Amino acid sequence: MSNSLPMLQPVHQLNGPAAGNWFAHYTDIPDDGQRYEVVRGVSRIPTPDTTHKVTITLFCTYFMQQVQFVGLGHMFKISCDVELTAHDIVQPDITVVLNQHLAIITHKRIVGVPDLLVEILSPGTATHDRRKKYATYARVGVPEYWIADPVNKTIEIFTHDTASSSYRSLGVFTGETPVPSLVLPTLNVPVIHFLRPHERSTRCQTYCLNQPQSASPPYNQPRISAAPHPASGPMPIMPPSPMMDSAMK
Protein backbone atom coordinates (compact mmCIF):
# COMPACT_ATOMS: atom_id res chain seq x y z
CA MET A 1 0.00 0.00 0.00
CA SER A 2 1.23 3.50 -0.79
CA ASN A 3 2.71 5.36 2.16
CA SER A 4 0.73 8.47 1.17
CA LEU A 5 -2.61 6.70 1.40
CA PRO A 6 -4.54 7.84 4.50
CA MET A 7 -5.95 5.20 6.84
CA LEU A 8 -9.53 4.42 5.85
CA GLN A 9 -12.16 3.54 8.40
CA PRO A 10 -15.76 2.37 7.82
CA VAL A 11 -17.29 5.81 8.30
CA HIS A 12 -19.42 7.92 6.00
CA GLN A 13 -16.79 10.52 5.12
CA LEU A 14 -13.07 11.05 5.58
CA ASN A 15 -10.46 13.43 4.21
CA GLY A 16 -7.99 12.48 1.51
CA PRO A 17 -5.21 14.18 -0.47
CA ALA A 18 -6.00 17.80 -1.23
CA ALA A 19 -4.43 17.67 -4.69
CA GLY A 20 -2.99 15.26 -7.21
CA ASN A 21 -4.31 12.24 -9.04
CA TRP A 22 -6.72 10.58 -6.61
CA PHE A 23 -7.03 7.38 -8.65
CA ALA A 24 -3.48 6.34 -7.72
CA HIS A 25 -4.55 6.43 -4.06
CA TYR A 26 -7.98 5.00 -4.77
CA THR A 27 -6.59 1.83 -6.36
CA ASP A 28 -4.46 1.20 -3.26
CA ILE A 29 -7.54 0.82 -1.08
CA PRO A 30 -7.85 -2.87 -0.15
CA ASP A 31 -10.82 -4.85 -1.44
CA ASP A 32 -12.60 -5.16 1.90
CA GLY A 33 -16.16 -5.44 0.59
CA GLN A 34 -16.89 -1.75 1.17
CA ARG A 35 -17.95 0.62 -1.62
CA TYR A 36 -15.65 3.66 -1.82
CA GLU A 37 -16.17 6.89 -3.75
CA VAL A 38 -14.18 10.12 -4.01
CA VAL A 39 -16.06 13.38 -4.55
CA ARG A 40 -13.95 16.55 -4.76
CA GLY A 41 -11.03 14.87 -3.01
CA VAL A 42 -13.05 13.45 -0.12
CA SER A 43 -13.44 9.69 0.26
CA ARG A 44 -16.87 8.42 1.23
CA ILE A 45 -18.44 5.00 1.88
CA PRO A 46 -22.12 4.81 0.84
CA THR A 47 -24.29 2.33 2.76
CA PRO A 48 -27.16 1.06 0.57
CA ASP A 49 -30.03 -0.86 2.14
CA THR A 50 -32.06 -3.83 0.88
CA THR A 51 -34.66 -1.70 -0.92
CA HIS A 52 -31.82 0.07 -2.72
CA LYS A 53 -30.34 -3.24 -3.90
CA VAL A 54 -33.70 -4.57 -5.09
CA THR A 55 -34.35 -1.39 -7.07
CA ILE A 56 -30.92 -1.59 -8.71
CA THR A 57 -31.78 -5.09 -9.92
CA LEU A 58 -34.87 -3.80 -11.67
CA PHE A 59 -33.09 -0.83 -13.25
CA CYS A 60 -30.42 -3.24 -14.54
CA THR A 61 -33.06 -5.47 -16.12
CA TYR A 62 -34.85 -2.72 -18.03
CA PHE A 63 -31.68 -0.92 -19.11
CA MET A 64 -30.18 -4.18 -20.34
CA GLN A 65 -33.33 -4.87 -22.36
CA GLN A 66 -33.79 -1.40 -23.84
CA VAL A 67 -30.22 -0.09 -24.05
CA GLN A 68 -27.62 -2.83 -24.27
CA PHE A 69 -29.60 -5.60 -25.99
CA VAL A 70 -30.82 -3.25 -28.74
CA GLY A 71 -27.33 -1.90 -29.41
CA LEU A 72 -27.64 1.68 -28.13
CA GLY A 73 -24.68 1.45 -25.78
CA HIS A 74 -23.51 -0.15 -22.55
CA MET A 75 -24.93 -0.17 -19.04
CA PHE A 76 -22.97 -0.67 -15.83
CA LYS A 77 -24.19 -1.23 -12.30
CA ILE A 78 -22.98 -0.10 -8.91
CA SER A 79 -19.53 -1.75 -8.81
CA CYS A 80 -18.14 0.16 -11.82
CA ASP A 81 -15.65 2.94 -11.07
CA VAL A 82 -16.28 6.17 -12.98
CA GLU A 83 -13.39 8.65 -12.93
CA LEU A 84 -15.12 11.90 -13.82
CA THR A 85 -12.02 13.96 -12.96
CA ALA A 86 -8.79 13.33 -11.06
CA HIS A 87 -10.64 14.34 -7.88
CA ASP A 88 -14.02 12.71 -8.55
CA ILE A 89 -14.21 8.91 -8.64
CA VAL A 90 -17.71 7.58 -8.13
CA GLN A 91 -19.68 4.35 -8.37
CA PRO A 92 -23.13 5.42 -9.59
CA ASP A 93 -25.96 2.97 -9.09
CA ILE A 94 -26.50 2.87 -12.87
CA THR A 95 -24.16 4.19 -15.57
CA VAL A 96 -25.08 4.41 -19.25
CA VAL A 97 -22.53 5.07 -22.00
CA LEU A 98 -23.91 5.40 -25.53
CA ASN A 99 -22.12 4.01 -28.58
CA GLN A 100 -20.64 7.35 -29.65
CA HIS A 101 -18.75 7.62 -26.36
CA LEU A 102 -17.52 4.05 -25.86
CA ALA A 103 -13.90 5.26 -25.95
CA ILE A 104 -14.22 6.36 -22.31
CA ILE A 105 -14.62 2.71 -21.25
CA THR A 106 -11.24 1.23 -20.30
CA HIS A 107 -10.31 -2.20 -19.04
CA LYS A 108 -10.53 -1.21 -15.37
CA ARG A 109 -12.92 1.73 -15.24
CA ILE A 110 -14.73 4.50 -17.08
CA VAL A 111 -12.58 7.60 -17.56
CA GLY A 112 -14.70 10.53 -18.62
CA VAL A 113 -18.31 11.67 -18.50
CA PRO A 114 -21.04 9.07 -19.16
CA ASP A 115 -24.27 9.95 -20.95
CA LEU A 116 -26.63 9.11 -18.10
CA LEU A 117 -26.25 8.40 -14.39
CA VAL A 118 -28.87 7.09 -11.97
CA GLU A 119 -28.72 7.30 -8.19
CA ILE A 120 -31.28 5.46 -6.06
CA LEU A 121 -32.04 7.12 -2.75
CA SER A 122 -31.65 5.30 0.55
CA PRO A 123 -31.56 6.72 4.10
CA GLY A 124 -27.76 6.75 4.14
CA THR A 125 -27.26 8.36 0.72
CA ALA A 126 -30.21 10.71 0.07
CA THR A 127 -28.52 13.98 1.09
CA HIS A 128 -25.29 13.05 -0.70
CA ASP A 129 -27.14 12.13 -3.92
CA ARG A 130 -29.30 15.27 -3.91
CA ARG A 131 -26.54 17.73 -3.04
CA LYS A 132 -22.92 16.70 -3.48
CA LYS A 133 -23.37 14.26 -6.34
CA TYR A 134 -25.91 16.56 -8.00
CA ALA A 135 -23.39 19.42 -7.89
CA THR A 136 -20.53 17.20 -9.06
CA TYR A 137 -22.45 15.74 -11.99
CA ALA A 138 -23.55 19.22 -13.05
CA ARG A 139 -20.01 20.59 -12.74
CA VAL A 140 -18.47 17.90 -14.97
CA GLY A 141 -21.36 18.00 -17.47
CA VAL A 142 -23.19 14.66 -17.15
CA PRO A 143 -25.96 15.14 -19.78
CA GLU A 144 -28.73 13.47 -17.77
CA TYR A 145 -29.07 12.58 -14.09
CA TRP A 146 -31.93 10.59 -12.55
CA ILE A 147 -32.75 10.50 -8.85
CA ALA A 148 -35.01 7.54 -8.05
CA ASP A 149 -36.94 7.47 -4.78
CA PRO A 150 -38.15 3.92 -3.95
CA VAL A 151 -40.11 5.11 -0.90
CA ASN A 152 -42.21 7.74 -2.69
CA LYS A 153 -42.13 5.81 -6.00
CA THR A 154 -40.83 8.77 -8.02
CA ILE A 155 -38.06 9.49 -10.51
CA GLU A 156 -36.81 13.05 -11.01
CA ILE A 157 -34.90 13.73 -14.22
CA PHE A 158 -32.33 16.49 -14.63
CA THR A 159 -30.84 17.56 -17.95
CA HIS A 160 -27.61 19.51 -18.24
CA ASP A 161 -27.57 23.06 -19.58
CA THR A 162 -24.16 23.63 -21.15
CA ALA A 163 -24.38 27.42 -21.12
CA SER A 164 -24.91 27.66 -17.36
CA SER A 165 -23.15 24.39 -16.39
CA SER A 166 -26.17 23.54 -14.28
CA TYR A 167 -29.15 21.20 -14.29
CA ARG A 168 -32.77 21.92 -15.02
CA SER A 169 -35.45 19.51 -13.86
CA LEU A 170 -37.74 17.91 -16.42
CA GLY A 171 -40.06 17.06 -13.54
CA VAL A 172 -40.83 14.44 -10.92
CA PHE A 173 -42.55 11.45 -12.50
CA THR A 174 -44.53 8.61 -10.97
CA GLY A 175 -47.11 5.92 -11.69
CA GLU A 176 -47.65 4.59 -15.19
CA THR A 177 -46.00 7.59 -16.86
CA PRO A 178 -43.20 6.42 -19.19
CA VAL A 179 -39.83 7.86 -18.17
CA PRO A 180 -39.26 10.84 -20.53
CA SER A 181 -35.51 10.57 -21.08
CA LEU A 182 -33.87 12.91 -23.58
CA VAL A 183 -30.72 10.79 -23.70
CA LEU A 184 -32.77 7.61 -24.30
CA PRO A 185 -35.85 8.81 -26.23
CA THR A 186 -36.78 5.24 -27.23
CA LEU A 187 -36.97 4.09 -23.60
CA ASN A 188 -40.51 2.86 -22.96
CA VAL A 189 -40.77 1.88 -19.31
CA PRO A 190 -43.37 3.30 -16.87
CA VAL A 191 -41.86 4.81 -13.74
CA ILE A 192 -43.61 2.36 -11.43
CA HIS A 193 -41.98 -0.61 -13.19
CA PHE A 194 -38.60 0.59 -11.93
CA LEU A 195 -39.81 0.97 -8.36
CA ARG A 196 -42.63 -1.48 -7.65
CA PRO A 197 -41.09 -4.96 -7.06
CA HIS A 198 -39.93 -4.41 -3.48
CA GLU A 199 -43.47 -3.46 -2.46
CA ARG A 200 -44.79 -6.53 -4.26
CA SER A 201 -42.22 -8.82 -2.67
CA THR A 202 -43.08 -7.47 0.79
CA ARG A 203 -46.75 -8.29 0.28
CA CYS A 204 -45.77 -11.73 -0.97
CA GLN A 205 -43.58 -12.37 2.05
CA THR A 206 -46.38 -11.30 4.41
CA TYR A 207 -48.81 -13.63 2.66
CA CYS A 208 -46.42 -16.56 2.60
CA LEU A 209 -45.48 -16.22 6.26
CA ASN A 210 -49.16 -16.53 7.22
CA GLN A 211 -49.72 -19.73 5.26
CA PRO A 212 -49.54 -23.21 6.87
CA GLN A 213 -46.55 -25.29 5.89
CA SER A 214 -47.44 -28.17 3.59
CA ALA A 215 -45.64 -31.49 3.53
CA SER A 216 -43.61 -32.46 0.49
CA PRO A 217 -45.45 -34.77 -1.96
CA PRO A 218 -44.46 -38.44 -2.03
CA TYR A 219 -41.52 -39.16 -4.31
CA ASN A 220 -43.67 -41.36 -6.56
CA GLN A 221 -46.45 -38.79 -7.03
CA PRO A 222 -46.80 -37.76 -10.69
CA ARG A 223 -45.43 -34.32 -11.38
CA ILE A 224 -47.34 -31.68 -13.32
CA SER A 225 -45.76 -31.11 -16.70
CA ALA A 226 -44.69 -27.62 -17.61
CA ALA A 227 -46.97 -25.74 -19.96
CA PRO A 228 -45.86 -25.79 -23.62
CA HIS A 229 -43.94 -22.79 -24.82
CA PRO A 230 -46.30 -20.23 -26.42
CA ALA A 231 -46.15 -19.48 -30.10
CA SER A 232 -43.34 -17.22 -31.16
CA GLY A 233 -43.99 -13.54 -30.71
CA PRO A 234 -42.67 -10.51 -28.87
CA MET A 235 -41.30 -11.35 -25.45
CA PRO A 236 -43.08 -9.48 -22.65
CA ILE A 237 -40.97 -7.45 -20.26
CA MET A 238 -41.15 -9.20 -16.91
CA PRO A 239 -39.99 -7.58 -13.67
CA PRO A 240 -37.28 -9.69 -12.03
CA SER A 241 -37.53 -11.33 -8.66
CA PRO A 242 -35.64 -9.56 -5.86
CA MET A 243 -33.67 -12.80 -5.49
CA MET A 244 -32.01 -12.02 -8.82
CA ASP A 245 -30.04 -9.27 -7.10
CA SER A 246 -27.58 -11.71 -5.60
CA ALA A 247 -27.18 -13.53 -8.91
CA MET A 248 -26.33 -10.33 -10.76
CA LYS A 249 -23.48 -9.37 -8.48
What's the whole-model pTM score? 0.65
Look at residue 242 and tell me whether its pLDDT is greater than 60: no
Mean pLDDT for 71-85 is 93
Rounded mean pLDDT of 214-220?
43
Q: How far apart are the first and last CA of the chain?
A: 27
Confidence of residue 94 (pLDDT cuts 50, 70, 90): very high
The pLDDT-based confidence of 166 (bands split at 50, 70, 90) is: very high
Reported as a single tens digit per residue, the pLDDT across 149-163 is 999 999 999 999 999
Per-residue pLDDT tens over the stretch 21-77: 444 554 554 554 445 555 555 555 555 668 888 899 999 999 999 999 999 999 999
**Can you give the pLDDT at residue 50?**
80
Which carries the bigger pLDDT value, residue 192 or residue 209? 192
246 in the Ramachandran plot: left (φ > 0), alpha (ψ -120 to 50) or beta?
Answer: alpha
- Write down the CATH superfamily of domain 47-200: tt1808, chain A (3.90.1570.10)
Of the CA atoms within 13 Å of residue 166, those in its CB half-sphere come to: 4
- β strands within 40-153, DSSP E: 42-44, 73-77, 82-85, 88-90, 94-98, 110-111, 116-120, 144-149
For residue 170, the Cα-to-chain-centroid distance in whole angstroms is 20
Rounded mean pLDDT of the chain?
74
